[in-house]
Amino acid sequence: MPDALLSDATIGHDPTASSEPSYDARPQSIPGCVHRRPRLRTRRARPSPVSTHRIVIVGGGAGGLELATRLGDRLGPRGLRGGRAEVTLVDRSPTHVWKPMLHQVAAGSLDPDGHALDYLAQARWHHFRFRRGQMVGLDRTAREIELAPLHDDEGVLVVPARRIGYDTLVIAVGSQVNDFGTPGAARHAISLDSVADAQRFHQRLINACMRANDQEEALRPGQLSIAIIGAGATGVELAAELHHSTRELIAFGMDRLRADRDIRITLVEAGPRVLPALPETLSEGAEALLKDLRIDVRTGEKVTAVRADGIETASGLFVPAEISVWAAGIRAPAFLSGLDGLETNRIDQLVLQPTLATTRDPDVFALGDCASCPWLGHAPGANGSVVNVPPRAQAAHQQAATLYRNLVARIDRRALDAFRYRDFGSLVSLGEHSTVGSLMGALVGGRLFIEGLFARMMYISLHKMHEYALHGSARVAMDTLARLFSRSSEPRVKLH
């Protein structure tokens, strides 16, 4: 049954009402909303005593899942203010893995199965509904989102194309890498956009090591070489993580390989330094650490083509590589471009007002990487331009908190708050055993460079904050302890 019909059948059912066909003319709970189109009903029905507001959140990532959890707890049928809203989360995947961990999944130092959260379980525990599907369109007049048909791995249809009705819509579909149309990038370079991408990279890494370990002849040039395009936080973290995990992997039975001799990791950056978004002091420290790890850092090299056997740069450099990873730049998913007349920017992000509502529709909100949100209080950028909130997990986390308050206020007919981003700094992990270079900003009233154990703990705390928002403190403490014990009895790298 389509969701729109499902929701009509489950809300406002009254056994005492007439069984004659009736029209659902329930009032909407907020000012400024257009009434839902009357729908002919053939079953007994009555208007709900308290009108139920339909909140649909698309994208259960760093921001969307926190928002659905908090709204379900507060407004869902068994929440603190039970039944005020019907909260539905839509995601194309069945499980959630926190995206900043994907470089660890790719390197094999983290098994996603142990960290994946089942959306259906979270929905049951926190009183919201989950619908699996990929959003492909929007009908703002009918207030419905459009989902593509869902097929299984063998191509068999599971659920046909559907529409889901909303009164308030939140789009939180994240971002994907931006290869700027570089020839060969889409075909030959792996991105780290999803768990499936990260696992694909890991599988290719293991296969490459096994192949090299078993071959009689000497390794050919570029064999067991990995090129990482983009030395932002993702590229730097991946390079450092790979340094450690390849050594672990080789230690498990790859007896003919020697990591220092056979594995080569090259980090290629178009800008003049690694971590271009961070202060120079931090970049210099990080680059020195990368070089200590024998990672070949090439700055000032703009990649012009990706080939099956390596990458070419504008200066004429060719970096041989068996595996290439694109980790430079982001853009929002293409389907958002001009989505039913909503305003988008040049990288397809939805343009927002400070309240996190989209500029052209007060019933459609967005958060996280797919949103272009003004950073209130930040000094103007080049040519006096408005600076936007950066695409980071900490921004998605803070936006989810503001949007939670704003959506409750919207139902209560109160004014909405403006989102104010607080920059707590940028932390870059250089692997489990290495120093973590880091920077904190507003938290300490300026800039403070930290490293070592304290920085490592700050880095981990970002993930813990996400887990706390999803599960509460008791479960986070228990899960942390359980993982500590299980890690001590398992290999530190995933071997298949």
Ligand X SMILES: Cc1cc2nc3c(=O)[nH]c(=O)nc-3n(C[C@H](O)[C@H](O)[C@H](O)COP(=O)(O)OP(=O)(O)OC[C@H]3O[C@@H](n4cnc5c(N)ncnc54)[C@H](O)[C@@H]3O)c2cc1C
Residue ranges that bind ligand X, judged by CB under 6 A: 58-64, 90-93, 99-100, 102-103, 134-135, 172-174, 192, 233-234, 333, 368-370, 391-394, 396, 462
Q: CB of 339: closest distance to ligand X in angstroms?
A: 11
Q: What are the CA-CA distances from residue 251 to residues 101, 134, 200, 262 (Å)?
A: 23, 41, 22, 13
Q: Which residue is nearest to ligand X (CB)?
A: 61
Q: Supply the minimum distance, in Å, between the C-beta of residue 136 and ligand X.
A: 7
Strands 318-320 and 310-313: antiparallel
Shortest distance (Å) from residue 88 CB to ligand X: 12
Looking at the Cβ atoms of 327 and 493, the one nearer to ligand X is 327
Residue (250 or 393) nearer to ligand X, CB: 393
C-alpha to C-alpha distance for 365 and 350, rounded to whole angstroms = 9
Residue 50 per-residue DSSP state: S
Q: Could you tell me the CA-to-CA distances from 274 to 136, 204, 230, 287 in Å, in that order? A: 36, 26, 8, 7
Q: How many Å apart are CA 78 and CA 74, to the nearest integer?
A: 8
SS3 for 129?
A: strand
Q: Which is nearer to ligand X, 257 or 493 (CB)?
A: 493
Amino acid letter, 64? G
In the complex, least distance from residue 412 CB atom to ligand X, rounded to whole angstroms: 25
Nearest to ligand X of 61, 76 (CB atom): 61
Complex with ligand X: residue 28 or 134, whichever CB lies closer: 134
Query: Nearest approach, Cβ of 421 to ligand X (angstroms)?
Result: 12
Give yes or no for a contact between 228 and 294, defined as CB atoms under 8 angstroms apart. no
CB of 99 to ligand X, least distance (A): 3
Would you say 51 or 234 has its CB closer to ligand X? Answer: 234
| CA 387 – CA 370 distance, rounded (Å) | 16
Reduced to 3 states (helix: H, G, I; strand: E, B; else coil), residue 306 is strand
The minimum distance between CB 8 and ligand X, in angstroms, equals: 23
Instruction: Give me the least distance between CB of 453 and ligand X, in Å please.
Output: 17
Nearer to ligand X, 275 or 303 (CB): 275
Alpha-carbon span 400 to 172, nearest angstrom: 10
Cβ proximity to ligand X: between 368 and 431 the closer is 368
Nearest distance from C-beta of residue 32 to ligand X, angstroms: 26
Structure tokens at 212: 């090299």
Minimal distance in Å, beta carbon 133 to ligand X?
Answer: 7
Q: For residue 486, give the amino acid letter.
A: S
Q: Among 100, 143, 94, 152, which Cα is nearest to 122's? A: 94
Of 12 and 174, CB closest to ligand X: 174
User: For the CA atoms of the chain, what is the radius of gyration?
Assistant: 25
Q: Considering beta carbons, is residue 58 or 311 the nearer one to ligand X?
A: 58
Q: Which is nearer to ligand X, 26 or 129 (CB)?
A: 129
Burial 182-213 (b: 16+ CB within 10 A, else e): bebbeebbbbbbbbebbbebbeebbebbeebe
Q: In degrees rounded to 5, what are phi and psi of residue 120?
A: -65, -40
* Closest alpha carbon to 426 in 239, 326, 285: 285
Taking the alpha carbons at both ends of the chain, their separation in whole angstroms is 40
d(CA 300, CA 332): 26
Min dist CB 172 to ligand X, Å, is: 5
